[in-house]
Structure 1
Amino acid sequence: MPTPVLYCRDPLNPRCVDEHFAQEAREVRACGGTVGLIDHDALLRGDAQQAVARVPSGLGSAWYRGWMIPGDRYAALAEALERRGTALLVTPERYRAAHELPGWYPVFADVTPASVWRPTKPGETLAGEDLAVLAESLPPGAGIVKDYVKSRKHEWEQACFVPDLADTVGLARVVRRFVELQEEFLAGGVVLRSFEAFSRPESVAAEARVWWLDGEPRLLTPHPDSPFEHGPRPDLDRIQPAVRRLGCRFVTTDVALRSDGVWRVVEVGDGQVSDLHPAVDRGELAALLVGPSPEDRSSGER
């Protein structure tokens, strides 16, 4: 049976899928899948019941595909859907494990830059002394500032890159600006990551996104920000065991070739809220989403 997919609705046309996901939803329907609508704005406001009001009752197990959702709101979404007879294929616990750095970092520590973090609330700034203590466990040199989910790499110098983690004044300045720009959207807390030099974006070894389903790499695409329509083919031999240990059904890993020729994981994400590069055929992901579950495949092999 095709798996239903729940998309964010269009805020201006509540009966339609959000324009950003509309083509993908059309491909899901073309594959025989059922599409439901989630009110993302209502969910973020804390009204999960309103958010699922347009989801048909009794859909069974379904994927969510849409904009990012904070972990607590995702849990509320799962609970509201359960009451309508629909179970998300990614549980709230597994969603947070793939979506937030503290959930995925321990199993990827050998294949991703060294990282430390401190839980904080939106708008809360850390004192320079606290940041110095936090940075002490990282290798000396440059670093990156982000939260549990996102960085502000487009504000590289003012809110992302720290030339020297030992420069407490400079570190505090970048962290403070990052927190200011994130405003109420700061997710979880402040993360410091060791900076690693990767191949330049204009090279053939630009960043790629790998889409994993049940521990298997099923789709390889350029990173959504890549200027290229075709990404590199990374070596996944050291990455796949970490994906499997994570134990999440639908995961993306953003990978890049370090300057010494080693493939590294830049970021991990839940596949339900990971974006596609504009050049990627939406039908490829749609087929992946609505395809048979492992249980269905097993029964068909008997």
Structure 2
Amino acid sequence: MPAPAIIFPADPLNPRRPDPHFAWEARTLRELGGEHHLVDHDGLLAGRAEEAVRRVPRDAGPLWYRGWMLPSARYADFAAALAARGGNLLTSAPGYATAHELPGWYGVFEGATPASAWIPSEGPEAPGPAELAEAAAQLGGRGPAIVKDYVKSRKHEWHEACYVPELADLAALGRVVGRFVELQGEFLTGGVVLRRYEEFEGADVPAAGPLGTNGAARTNGASGATSAAGAAGPERADGGAPGSGGRAVEARV
């Protein structure tokens, strides 16, 4: 098999060059003798896959995608548009969906990732009290948790739409979940996930900046900002949850 080329997102302001976030990777690839192509990420998100891949040469052969996350359906359109031009994404659309959305990968990592329960949804509609109570019961019915969808949380609205101090308080759980769904709106992916809130082991070194004082850094279980073939990016090195302090000895990836 010929060496795969790598597809990067194009710079929205200059589509002939890579997105600045990935420019150093593209440059390193060129220095190593590799080949890269560019794709219009905004076009992919808007459902214009055929137009978005027009800068990828025909019969490009095997391809890796290294770029911003895409919804699973948009990635499938991406793969199909490349296949129509003779390109082959080495991470298939089903493989991407499995790695990208929590229910797909959870069984592989169960026991090494916070315990989770999820409620599928056909759209941005909050689960009812009975569904939330059942999901909370799957996590033991008590203790703190975070709310997210199959891909992302809203950790920057931590107390409003992410963190649940006590699962047994179903009224508070319903408020946080309802606000999360409201804020996610049309971008809600898959459904609502409850993940057990866990403390990371922390060092006795205060974190710099606004995170505060000594203490264990915490994981919120949220997906990272970027993705390579569906893999979630790393959590902040200094911990996770807004308001937590200290440096984490452990890190979530």
Q: TM-score, normalised by structure 1?
A: 0.67
Q: What amino acid does structure 1 have at the position aligned with 2:95?
A: R
Q: What amino acid does structure 2 have at the position aligned with 1:176?
A: G
**5 Å matches for 1:253-292?**
266=252
Aligned pairs, number:
223
Counterpart of 1:136?
A: 137
Counterpart of 1:170?
A: 172
Whole-angstrom distance in 2 between the partners of 1:61 and 1:203: 46
**5 Å matches for 1:38-53?**
38-53=39-54
Counterpart of 1:225?
A: 236
Whole-angstrom distance in 1 between the partners of 2:31 and 2:204: 36
Where 1:16 maps in the other structure, the secondary structure is strand
Where 1:22 maps in the other structure, the secondary structure is helix
Where 1:111 maps in the other structure, the secondary structure is coil
Whole-angstrom distance in 1 between the partners of 2:234 and 2:112: 18
Where 2:198 maps in the other structure, the secondary structure is coil
Where 1:126 maps in the other structure, the secondary structure is coil
Q: What amino acid does structure 2 have at the position aligned with 1:192?
A: L
Counterpart of 2:61?
A: 60
Q: Contact conserved, 1:7 with 1:65, CA < 8 A, in 2? A: yes
Q: What amino acid does structure 2 have at the position aligned with 1:195?
A: Y
Q: What amino acid does structure 1 have at the position aligned with 2:236?
A: D
TM-superposed deviation, 1:176: 1.2
Q: Contact conserved, 1:145 with 1:151, CA < 8 A, in 2? A: yes
- Structure 1 pair 225–180 and aligned structure 2 pair: CA distance change class (3 A): same
Q: Deviations over 1:129-174 (max 9, x none)?
A: 3211221111221111111111122222111111111111100111
Q: Deviations over 1:180-209 (max 9, x none)?
A: 222222111100011222123875997999
TM-superposed deviation, 1:25: 1.0
**5 Å matches for 1:144-183?**
144-183=146-185
- Structure 1 pair 225–66 and aligned structure 2 pair: CA distance change class (3 A): same
Whole-angstrom distance in 1 between the partners of 2:217 and 2:168: 29
- Structure 1 pair 178–21 and aligned structure 2 pair: CA distance change class (3 A): same
Counterpart of 2:187?
A: 185
TM-superposed deviation, 1:128: 2.1
Counterpart of 1:4?
A: 5
Counterpart of 1:271?
A: none
Counterpart of 1:127?
A: 128
Q: Contact conserved, 1:129 with 1:168, CA < 8 A, in 2? A: no
Whole-angstrom distance in 2 between the partners of 1:206 and 1:133: 29
Structure 1's unaligned 5+ residue stretches are: 214-221, 229-255, 258-262, 268-302
Q: What amino acid does structure 1 have at the position aligned with 2:71?
A: P
- Structure 1 pair 165–53 and aligned structure 2 pair: CA distance change class (3 A): same
Structure 2's unaligned 5+ residue stretches are: 207-215, 240-247
Whole-angstrom distance in 2 between the partners of 1:194 and 1:54: 44
Greater RCO structure (CA 8 Å; 6+ sep)? 1
Q: Deviations over 1:198-241 (max 9, x none)?
A: 123875997999xxx9xxxxxxxx9352259xxxxxxxxxxxxx
Q: Which moved more, 1:42-51 or 1:117-126?
A: 117-126
Q: What amino acid does structure 1 have at the position aligned with 2:80?
A: E
Q: What amino acid does structure 1 have at the position aligned with 2:153?
A: S
Whole-angstrom distance in 1 between the partners of 2:111 and 2:14: 46
Q: Contact conserved, 2:199 with 2:217, CA < 8 A, in 1? A: no
Q: TM-score, normalised by structure 2?
A: 0.80
Q: What amino acid does structure 2 have at the position aligned with 1:49?
A: E
Q: What amino acid does structure 1 have at the position aligned with 2:49?
A: A
Whole-angstrom distance in 1 between the partners of 2:203 and 2:80: 42
Where 1:133 maps in the other structure, the secondary structure is helix
**What's the % identity of the aligned pairs?**
51
Whole-angstrom distance in 1 between the partners of 2:70 and 2:160: 26
TM-superposed deviation, 1:3: 2.5
TM-superposed deviation, 1:41: 1.2
- Structure 1 pair 75–133 and aligned structure 2 pair: CA distance change class (3 A): same
